[in-house]
Structures are given as C-alpha cells and as structure tokens.
Amino acid sequence: MKGIFNWLDERTGYRGFVKDALFESVPGGARWRYVWGSTLTFAIVMQFITGIILWMFYSPSSQTAWESVYFIQEEVPGGWILRGIHHWTAQVMTVLLLLHLLQVVIDGAYRAPREINFWFGMGLLGITLAMSLTGYLLPWDQKGYWATKVATSLTSTVPFIGDSLQRLVVGGSEYGHYTLTRFFALHAGVLPFLLIGLIVGHIYLFRRHGLKVKQPKKGPDVYFWPDQILKDAVACLAVLMVVLVFVFWQHGAHLSAPANPAENFSSARPDWYFMFLFQLLKYFPGNETILGIAAPIWGAVIVPGALFGAFMMLPFVGAMKWRLPVVNWRLGDFCATFFLILCIVGFVALTYIAFDHDYNDPDYAPGFAASVEQANRDAARVKALVKANGGIPPEGALSLLQNDPLTQGPRLFASNCASCHAYGGEDGLGVAVKETSAADLKGFASREWLTEFMSPDHIETDKYWGNTAFVNPEEGDKKSKMVDFLFDEVAEYGDEEKTMLEELIVGLSAEAKLPAQVELDAAASETITQLPELLEELTCLDCHHFQGEGRRPDLTGYGSVEWMTAFIQDPSHKRFYGDRNDRMPSYGAVNDKPAKLSDREIGLIVEWMRTPQRETP
Amino acid sequence: MDTSENVDEPESNPLEEPEEDRRDFLQKAACVALGGVVTLVPAGSAITVLVSPLFDKSVGGLKVRLTSIDSLEVGGPPKLFKVVTERQDAWTKHHTSEIGSVYVQRTGQGNTPSDFQAFNSTCPHLGCAVEFLDGAEGYSCPCHDSTFATTGEVLNQSSPSPRGLDSLEVEIEDDQLWVIYLKFKPNVTDKIPVA
C-alpha cells in the first residue's frame, strides 16, 4: 500500500499538497468565527452534487420545465429531498454569505493587503445571487415566472443598452423556450464556471495572506487539521441540519401552478433576500426625475449600483489609520463597520416593510392573501389533475388547468356573472359579493334551492328574486306572475298540496341530473315519474311547458347541462324569458352579435356550477 | 485526507503523550465521522435519485391491434405495421405514440394465430430496423448486413446477429390481428424480454 502512495507521490507530489492544505497554521488556536468560509464551501459542494443530478431530470422548455420539475418533486423516488436540499441550501447560502461578509469586515480582513480577495468575495456574492435569480425561474411556475419577469423588465431600464440587454437575457421579445434555455445555461454552465474560478482565486489569496487573526490570541498556535477542521465540520453539520429541517418541514420545495402568461399572479414575489430591492423600487415614482435622470433608473440601477460600488471601495475606506480618541478605534474600521451596519439596518428595514405591506396593510393584505390562497389552490389542483389523468398531456400541464371546470368556472363566474349574481354569497373566488341584482346560483336547481325558490318566504329575499324586476317592476310594469302565484296560491296550500309541491320539486330537480343528487334521484324514481301529472295538477303548465312546444320558460330538462348552456347563451330566447327577461345579457352569439363567452367557456361555468364543492383541489 | 495522518507530528513531552494522543485521536475521529455525515447525506440522496431508473423493473408485453386479417394475403410477402399505443414517457402521457414496428406474414390458409407469423422489426444484433427485400426473399439489416430468412432464422452464417428475428405472439379477435409487442435484449443468443 505504502509503495503505491510513494509511487504516486514521486510523480505528483500530492503529499506536499495535502500537507499544505491540512497544516495551515491557525495562530492563536481554532475559533468558531473562522468557520464561515468552510460552511460556504460545503454549501457550494452540496449545490454542485444536487444540481448535477437535478440536471439529469430537468427539461428546459416552456412545455416541459414545470412538468419535469413536477416529476422530480412528485414521482421520482427521493426527488423531493434532492430538490429540497438544492432549494434550501441556496437560501441558507445567502445567510452564510452575509455572515461571512460581516465577520470579514468586523475582523478587518478586508483591508490591505487583502483588497483583491475582498473583491473576489464580493464577486462571489454577486454570482451567488445571480445563481439564485436564474434558478428561481427554472421550474417555470407562476411564482418564478412573474417574479423573474419583474427582474428582466428592470434590465430594460438600464440607460442606452437596456432594451438590447433585456432581449439578450430573455432570448427574444417574449418569455418562452429561449428564456429557459438561456437561464439554464447561465445557471448550470456560465455562472458555476465563474464561481469555481473565483473560489480558486479566493482560496489561493486567502492562503497567501494567511488567516487574519482575531486579537488578542486565545491560546497557542495550532494547525488547521484537526483543530479548526473539527469546528468547521460541526458548523457544516449545523448547516446541513438547518437545511434538512426545512426540507422535511416543506416536503422539498414549493412548486406553484404552471406559468400562465394570461393569468396575472399578483402575489408573485422575489425570494426574500431580493425583497429589499423590490421595496426600494416603490420609492422611485415613474413620472419623476432626479437630477435630470428618470427616477426608476435611480431605483433600479444607480442606487443598487452605488451601493455595490461603495462595498468595493471598503478596503480603501478601511485603510484610514488614524484612531478615534477614547475608544481607540481605527477610523477606517469604524467607518467600514458603521457602513456595514447601516446597510444591514436598511436591508432589514426594507425587507420588513415589504413583508409588512403584503401581510398587514389593511388595504392590500386581503387581496394579497386571496391571491396566495388562489395560487395554492391552483398548485394543489393541477397536481390532482395530473394524477387523475395518469400523466401530463404532451401540450403541457397548463392545458389541464385551462380545461378544468373547477379552476376556470369560478374565475369566469367572477368576471362575467358576479356583477349581478352571487355564488353562496361570494363571487366564486372567495370574495364576498355585497350587492346583487339577481339570484344566488349556488345549488341552482337542487332540491334545497328549488324548495326555497318556491316559497313565498324566500322569493323576495336578496338570495332569490328580491333585487330583480320580477319582484320590483319598473313603473307601469307588473310583478312576475310567478311571484303572484307564490303569494296567491302556494301560500294558501293545504297539507295535500304541500306534499304534491314537495314531490314536484323532487321531480323537477331530477331534470337537472345534478352529479351530487344522483343517488337521491335514483332512490326517488317513482316520485319522479309523476312529474308531468303534478305539473298539470298544480297548474304550472298554465304558464310553463314541459316536453313539447308551449309557454315559457321551458321546464323540460330544467337545470340540465343543455338547459343551462342554452339559457346562458340566450336568456331572451322564447324558450326562456323571452321579452320578460330582466337584465341578463345573452352570452352566446345571438342576432349576428359576437359571443361574449365561447361555448367552451360557458360549458366550464355550467359544469362548475353543477359541482357542489369549490374547495376540492 | 486521513491518509496523511501523523505526517510531521510535533515531538511532544513523553510524560504528556498518552493524554495528548488520545485527545488528538478523538478529535481526528470526530472530524472523519462528521465529515462522513455531511458528505453522505447530500451524496446519498443524490445517488438514490440518480439510480432511480434501476428501481423500475417492469417488463410487460403490450397487446396492440395491428390490422384486420383481410388486409394480409395468404402466402403473400410480409407487411410492415407500426405499433401505435398509449405511452408514458416520464411525465408525458402520449395518447397515441408509435413505439416500434412489426412484420406480419400470413403463412397458413386458416384464420388462427398459427396461420400468421409476426416479427419485431428490430434487428437482434444491435437494434437497427431490418427490411424485407422482395428480390432476396428474406430480411436484411442495413447496418451490419445480417440476413434472415422469411421464417426468421439467420440466413447467412457470416451474419453478426447472434440469433434469428424475434417472433411475437399473435392473437385474433373478431377478424382483427393483435400482437403482444415486446422488445428483447440485443446481441445475445437467448431471447430475453426487456422493459
């Protein structure tokens, strides 16, 4: 064995290299404050290992990026752990970088002769942040898509070259395949390459200048191995533990719904360590100029650039040797430390204000919370759809959400129907509807809904016709005959007629063939067959017709998919309200007017309205 | 790293040696143990995911309808049919996907499965697609010149293919011809199904 090592050493001199690496002197003994560089190296190694394996499972295109990340997260054995480690190590790395920077400035390790190494370190900070930024987009989910859009739009504010720069970054004028391929090449190719180069330089210079020893020394000099390495290893273990706690707590890393350029995602935010920049932009109104330069350029380019520039100048600031009286503190160290603390206070304050605004501002927080909830619902729903479909169609997972009634129905209802109707008192998306001018459609055509509708106690409430012209006619018009019928006839019903009405409602509701009532309908099949006679006996057919031509509105197939679709397409059709229609517009193409909603969209609304639960992901 | 243990150990006072040595040894052992843990956790999860394709051992014949039996002439030359089926490729579910092709020849007079002969068109040598040559009355592989008789056996003994064409099981249902489509391990004498 020894022979082999001797043979190797004679040809490579590896023993000298290992000796240099391990027996670096640590003057004054090993200390915990020296561990930050090692924990960062450890974090980077973790990112390389996990990143390369993730690379083997990732497919950068707008139809496969989300899909492949979904597969890693949900299907590949152990995939969620790997993705989780990669995601959370990136987060922890940002904290470690800040701690490392803090320690370097406080210990005066940024000053001559270590200026260049400090700049290398600042370069590494920049590259790491660029890795985070590019990595955030790669899952191509709503969160990454909209947050990164903000970042790339910012590049266009750079003077002179901004527009070209943005085109280069995005790979064209619009987000698409080439945005992903570019970001991926940066994230997994260019940036890691630069990172390795700078790390080699950083460690070389560190070794050249030696450790900047914290005075006063605590003990005798030791070697790096094993004294300092033990402390480093304990710190690395602590880092790993923190990462794993997050990985198991969050079951990997969150993946929101697939990116949808047509669906704004107002709760999209950059990662927490960019929130201060996000907040900073709010202080530079778009229509103002400062010193002749548009304010947004200050917020996006000049201020952050000046800040970075100021950091790069720290070694020169730190060179001021004059000492402050009384405390005997070097002026340079005082200024550098003061500047750093100022930056940290600013960072913390801006970050806090940004989060506080999202979560606590009374005008803003409810909308933000609703947006977050909606996004979480979509994220859960798309996963359920993929599982139900047994895979993702070749056109991508977004198509599953776009054709899903439970996802699109409430959205279409909120934007097309909720200005008059409510759905369980809400607009379909969970926002309470305060003023309605038509019936609440939750449970439409169900036994419960019809029972209340057919009751004089309920028909004039807001939930039914209380705000319609059927109850409050315009001057000169009469109340609906249906309302008169309820008050004049139904209100006077005896027990026998009440039973008949109950049976009629069971039969009429069965016309809708509601999915939730399948079992109830099957159990009441005998009652249901009596519907035509009951309609006749309770004089409904004096006004309505059932199975055949006649008076309106048509009760044949009342509340069924076909009936509801035709009704929404044209409620003024003679089959429905005819000229007695209150204010409901025709959503289909009628009289050469173009359709307000496509048949597909109406179908999505109808199917959703007939499905009792909104919450099911 | 631990290979260089005890290189250039400083001489210590003989009286303190046992105490110092034990402390030193424990420290080094702790380093190795902790270093092992922090390396193994990320590396271990990476390797688990890396080798995940090995966990999927499914080998299954896929029953696919090729044609109606009328489209094949009794005693006529083999015809090539595409195997079109639903297919799962990692996350993507293809409703129709062409996964291979099959040569079928109607060799008998009747309408039973034994009157038909089906071959996977993949060459058993290294996976190129064989072609039926009318003039030569047999199959030939364009890659390495393997030749096969219409019965599937290796025709020219200098062919590199270690076995004849892979026959597939035929089923007939309502005058429709189905095959159990399978792929086989290339370049071995035995016909071994693979996933």
B156 touches chain A (CB under 8 A): no
Could you give the 3-state DSSP secondary structure of residue B63? strand
With a pLDDT cut of 90, the percent of chain A lying above it is 38
**CA A440/CA A433 separation, integer angstroms:** 10
Identify the three-state secondary structure at position B137.
Answer: coil
Q: What is the pLDDT of residue B5?
A: 43
Phi then psi for residue B117, to 5 deg, are -130, 125
Contacts with A57 from chain B: Cβ below 8 Å: 49
What tokens does B151 get? 């019965």
Please name the member of B7, B34, B55 whose beta carbon is closest to the beta carbon of A77: B55
Would you say residue B9 has pLDDT above 50? no
pLDDT digits (tens, 9 = 90+) for A327-381: 778 888 888 888 989 999 999 999 999 999 988 888 888 888 888 888 888 899 9
Q: Which of A15, A52, A390 is closest, CB to CB, to B4?
A: A15
Q: CATH number, domain at B147?
A: 2.102.10.10
Whether ipTM > 0.85 holds is no
Chain A residues in contact with B16 by the CB 8 A cut-off are none
User: Which residues 6+ apart lie within 8 Å of A237 measured at CB?
Assistant: B34, B37, B38
Q: How confident is the model at residue B19 (pLDDT cuts 50, 70, 90)?
A: low
Average pLDDT over residues B145-160: 89
Cα A482 from Cα A539, distance rounded (Å) = 11
Co-location of B75 and B32 in the same domain:
no
B51 neighbourhood in chain A, CB within 8 Å:
none
Helix or strand (DSSP H, E) at A203: helix A191-209
Specify whether B73 is located in the same domain as B28. no
- Enumerate the domain spans of chain A: 14-257, 271-360, 365-402, 405-609
pLDDT at A617 over 60: no
List the 44-83 stretch of A: residues with Cβ below 8 A of B. 45-46, 49-50, 52-53, 56-57, 64, 67-68, 70-72, 75-79, 81-82
**Is the domain of B43 the same as that of B94?**
no
| Shortest Cα–Cα distance, A79 to chain B (Å) | 6
Are B156 and B62 contained in the same domain? yes
Pair A40, A97: CB distance under 8 Å? yes
- pLDDT grade for B145, boundaries at 50, 70 and 90: confident
Phi-psi region of A548 (alpha: psi -120 to 50; beta: other; left: phi over 0): left
Domain count, chain B: 2
Q: What is the pLDDT of residues B64-106, one digit of tens each?
A: 889 898 889 888 889 999 998 888 888 999 888 888 999 999 9
A70, A85, A386 member nearest B45 (Cβ): A85
- Nearest CA to A44 out of A198, A166, A227 is that of A198
- Domain of residue B127 covers 58-194
Nearest CA of chain A to the CA of B38: how many Å?
6
Which residue in the block uniquely carries the two structure tokens 């489209």?
Answer: B71
HSE-CB for B138 with a 13 A CA cutoff: 17
Phi and psi dihedrals of B98, rounded to 5?
A: -85, 115
Query: How much is the average pLDDT of A549-558?
Result: 80
Contact (CB<8Å) B93/A393? yes
Regarding whether B37 and B92 lie in a shared domain, the answer is no
Mean pLDDT over residues A131-155, rounded?
91
Element spanning A100, H or E:
helix A79-106
Of B7, B35, B95, the CB nearest to A233: B35
Categorize the per-residue pLDDT at A614 as very low, low, confident or very high, splitting at 50, 70 and 90.
very low
Task: Judge: A77–B52 Cβ closer than 8 Å, yes or no.
Answer: yes
Same domain for B62 and B48, yes or no, is no
Same structural domain for residues B182 and B111?
Answer: yes
The pLDDT-based confidence of A613 (bands split at 50, 70, 90) is low
Tell me the mean pLDDT in the region A205-219: 84
- Closest to A128 (Cα-Cα) out of A44, A205, A45, A46: A44
Nearest CA in chain B to A228: B31
Does B180 lie in the same domain as B105? yes
Q: A245 forms bridges with which residues in the sheet? A: none
Compute the distance between CA of residue A134 and CA of residue B149 in angstroms, rounded to an integer: 58
Residues B90 and B19 in one domain: no
Same domain, B91 and B145: yes
- Give the mean model confidence (pLDDT) for residues A297-305: 85
Q: A542 and chain B: CB distance < 8 Å anywhere?
A: no
CB within 8 Å: A392 and B55: no
One domain for residues B66 and B139: yes
Closest-CA residue to B49 (of A354, A45, A56): A56
With a CB cutoff of 8 Å and minimum separation 6, the contacts of A525 are: none
pLDDT score at A508: 87
Helix axes A79-106, A229-249, angle to 10 degrees: 130
Closest CA to B81 of B95, B96, B97, B65: B65
What are A179-191's pLDDT values in tens digits? 999 999 999 999 9
For A:194-253, CB contacts with B below 8 A are 225-227, 229-230, 233-234, 236-237, 240, 244
C-alpha span between A493 and A486 (Å, rounded): 10
- Structural contact between residues A425 and A432, judged by C-beta atoms closer than 8 angstroms: yes
Q: Which CATH superfamily is domain A14-257 in?
A: Cytochrome Bc1 Complex; Chain C (1.20.810.10)
Q: Give the pair of three-digit tokens for residue A465.
A: 């016709």
Q: A256, A254, A253, A298: which is closest to A277 by C-alpha?
A: A298
Residue A546 pLDDT greater than 90, yes or no: no
Q: Are residues B76 and B35 in the same domain?
A: no
List phi, psi (to 5°) of A141.
-100, 170
Query: Pick from A13, A105, A90: which is nearest to A46 by CA?
Result: A90
Are residues A56 and B50, on separate chains, in Cβ contact within 8 Å? yes
pLDDT score recorded for residue A28: 84
Residue type at A480 in one-letter notation: S
User: For A401-429, how does the pLDDT look when each residue is reduced to its tens digit (9 = 90+)?
Assistant: 999 988 898 889 988 988 888 888 888 88
